[in-house]
Amino acid sequence: MPLISRLPANHTIREFRLAAGQRYREAVHLATAGDRLAAIYLCGYAAEMLLKAAYFRLIGRSATAPITVGDLQSAKHYATTTLGLIWIGNLHSLTSWAEPLVEERRLRGLPLPASMARGLHARVRRIYANWRETIRLVGWVEALRNPPGFKRGGLRKASTHPTRSQSVPRTG
């Protein structure tokens, strides 16, 4: 049976946290090896999972209860209608997950200290300035074709990864 068919359709807070830690460790390994774009992708993905886990834990979700796409959509709806926040982007938006986390804590009488809230927002903005979930698609191709500020092959170590000119030749 293929791996993908053995994976659960929904994930829990516990799984989000464990996966975030693993993806972060993989990102550090990739960054050390010179695979910067892959490292950025995994760091952003880890941040997304941690923000979602923190939000759902705050609202009382059990660490082992499944989080469905419907739950994610409900959280977005709650953030925009009840909390009055502007949700920018899709369900992967880091900035849009940080805002309801901070605001919901405030409403529950558990506000983050101002310096911690500022630090969270600053870190989320820094990650989001360099990451979108879509870099796994177009971003890879575009970055490898025309990486700003890098010479051809500059995103990866030439000794361990072929440059585009060394890859499979194009036809036509």
| pLDDT at residue 31 greater than cutoff 80 | yes
pLDDT (tens digit per residue) in 99-140: 999 999 999 999 999 999 999 999 999 998 888 887 766 455
Q: How confident is the model at residue 164 (pLDDT cuts 50, 70, 90)?
A: very low
Q: In the chain, what percentage of residues exceed pLDDT 70?
A: 74
**94: nearest Cα among 64, 142, 60, 135:** 135
pLDDT (tens digit per residue) in 66-94: 999 999 999 999 999 999 999 998 999 99
pTM recorded for the entire structure: 0.76
Q: What is the mean pLDDT of the chain?
A: 82
| pLDDT at residue 151 greater than cutoff 60 | no
Question: How many residues make up the chain in this entry?
Answer: 172
Q: In the chain, what percentage of residues exceed pLDDT 90?
A: 62
Q: Give the Å distances, CA to CA, from 51 to 24, 34, 140, 167.
A: 14, 27, 24, 38
Tell the burial category of 164 from Cβ atoms under 10 Å away from its Cβ (0-12, 13-18, 19+). Answer: exposed
pLDDT at 10: 81
